[in-house]
Amino acid sequence: MKLNEQYRTLEKSYLFSDIAHRVSEFQKANPGVDVIRMGIGDVTRPLGEKIVGEMVAGTKEQGKAESFHGYGPEQGYEFLREAVRGYYRSYGVELHPDEIFISDGAKSDVGNILDLFDRENTVLIPDPVYPVYRDTNYMDGRRIVYLEANKENGFLPMPVSGQQADLIYLCSPNNPTGAVYSREQLTKWVEYALEQDAVILFDAAYESFICDENLPRSIFEIEGARRCAIEFCSLSKTAGFTGTRCGYTVVPDDLVRNGLSLREMWLRRQTTKFNGVSYPVQKAAAAVFTPEGQAQCRENLAVYRENAQIMSQALQEMGIWFVGGSNSPYLWLECPNGMNSWEFFDDLLHRAHVVGTPGSGFGKNGEGFFRLTAFGTVENTREAMARMRKLYCK
């Protein structure tokens, strides 16, 4: 018996446990000090009333013989796929319902999609990165080429001519950096992918934070993307579904390689390995796309946006270089006074009692940078920025 030895190549993920450890040591030594957490990648606002109402209604249906639902369609109920289709249509993207696959969140599908691709493929992954892209490819032993994201390119790496590629990961608005690709930049990526015969795996988990109408929310707003891209989306950050679990993946019909339709392959993969998302959760997810549900989601998003705005303004006043924050819940800043990521983490914790995430935990290019998130309360965000201003204003 042989195990998958590739697991040996995975780096141990100490980032969040290291953070928790340092914070708990600090709190033990300084009991009663009010520590503000600005590193959380999870939402904090509850689900909207309309959404909860539909989840309850769906659950009650399950309790009566006449409305009971057993196994549902693996690809998701038509009522939800139609709702997602309507959402895409609202910003000009036309999809066929068969191209939409309901999932239990973007993370699973981002990992599972690799079932469709050969292990010999060359994969382009940005650095710094949401670690799931990197680790799922390491598990399969694929060759990774890192795309250098840095201050010079605003943490938005572009294709390098002559670089061979089979799979390309793009995430916009980005986690961890909050940087957002423009239409022109994504057009260049699509042209490059078509030239390389590569497939773009586009993570749009934060699309609902985009306010600027000139910025694309979906890769399918770009001409030619239907022939070279798969998109992953999630209700986690849009509608507070991190603990409820629902997302969707779009695999266009035009995406064909060597005579094989990737949409058909993914359908086959899902019908073989997945039995769908629970009926009450799909009912709740469909409620997200109703006018009432959208209004409730907007209320929550408005709070996170306000936080991001407060943070952006404070960082500007402090003269600290950063990206993100205007169309994203993440702000990615250069550590002040030449500190490295962990030095700044400790300085911020010990002197401002504020916790963030060291950028070095997301890849080598994250060293010297730091992630703050807008998912806290407005009061805490204001207080954290006031404390930082006192320490870091130039």
Closer by beta carbon to ligand PLP, 137 or else 175: 175
Q: How far is the CB of 171 from ligand PLP (least distance, A)?
A: 5
Q: How far is the CB of 362 from ligand PLP (least distance, A)?
A: 11
Q: How far is the CB of 209 from ligand PLP (least distance, A)?
A: 12
Please, what sign has the CA dihedral across residues 208, 293, 239, 268? negative
Q: Does 130 bind ligand PLP (CB under 6 A)?
A: yes
Closer by beta carbon to ligand PLP, 242 or else 309: 242
Q: How far is the CB of 247 from ligand PLP (least distance, A)?
A: 4
Q: Does 190 bind ligand PLP (CB under 6 A)?
A: no
Q: How far is the CB of 88 from ligand PLP (least distance, A)?
A: 17
Interface pick for ligand PLP out of 39, 76, 105, 376 (rule CB under 6 A): 105
Q: Rule CB under 6 A: which of 247-266 touch ligand PLP?
A: 247
Q: How far is the CB of 236 from ligand PLP (least distance, A)?
A: 3
- Using CB under 6 A as the binding criterion, the count of chain residues that bind ligand PLP stands at 13
Mark 156-175 with x for binding to ligand PLP (rule: CB under 6 A) and - for no binding.
---------------x---x
Interface pick for ligand PLP out of 107, 226, 263, 371 (rule CB under 6 A): 107
Q: Which two tokens stand for residue 215?
A: 């910025």
Q: Rule CB under 6 A: which of 45-84 touch ligand PLP?
A: none
Closer by beta carbon to ligand PLP, 40 or else 267: 40
Closer by beta carbon to ligand PLP, 102 or else 222: 102
Q: Compute φ and ψ for 276, nearest 5 degrees.
A: 90, 170
Q: Which two tokens stand for residue 163?
A: 């670089």
Closer by beta carbon to ligand PLP, 304 or else 392: 304
3-state secondary structure the chain: CCCCHHHHHCCCCCHHHHHHHHHHHHHHHCCCCCCEECCCCCCCCCCCHHHHHHHHHHHHHHCCCCCCCCCCCCCCCHHHHHHHHHHHHHCCCCCCHHHEEEECCHHHHHHHHHHHCCCCCEEEEEECCCHHHHHHHHHHCCEEEEEECCCCCCCCCCCCCCCCCCEEEEECCCCCCCCCCCHHHHHHHHHHHHHHCCEEEEECCCHHHCCCCCCCCCHHHCCCHHHCEEEEEECHHHHCCCCCCCEEEECCCCCEECCEEHHHHHHHHHHHHCCCCCHHHHHHHHHHCCHHHHHHHHHHHHHHHHHHHHHHHHHHHHCCCEEECCCCCEEEEECHHHCCHHHHHHHHHHHHCEECEEHHHHCHHHCCEEEEECCCCHHHHHHHHHHHHHHHCC
Q: How far is the CB of 24 from ligand PLP (least distance, A)?
A: 23
Q: Does 205 bind ligand PLP (CB under 6 A)?
A: yes
Q: Rule CB under 6 A: which of 230-249 touch ligand PLP?
A: 234, 236, 242, 247
Q: How far is the CB of 130 from ligand PLP (least distance, A)?
A: 4
Interface pick for ligand PLP out of 54, 203, 207, 231 (rule CB under 6 A): 203
Q: Which two tokens stand for residue 5?
A: 């030895």
Closer by beta carbon to ligand PLP, 107 or else 226: 107
**Residues of the shown chain interacting with ligand PLP in the complex, contacts defined by CB under 6 A:** 41, 105-107, 130, 171, 175, 203, 205, 234, 236, 242, 247
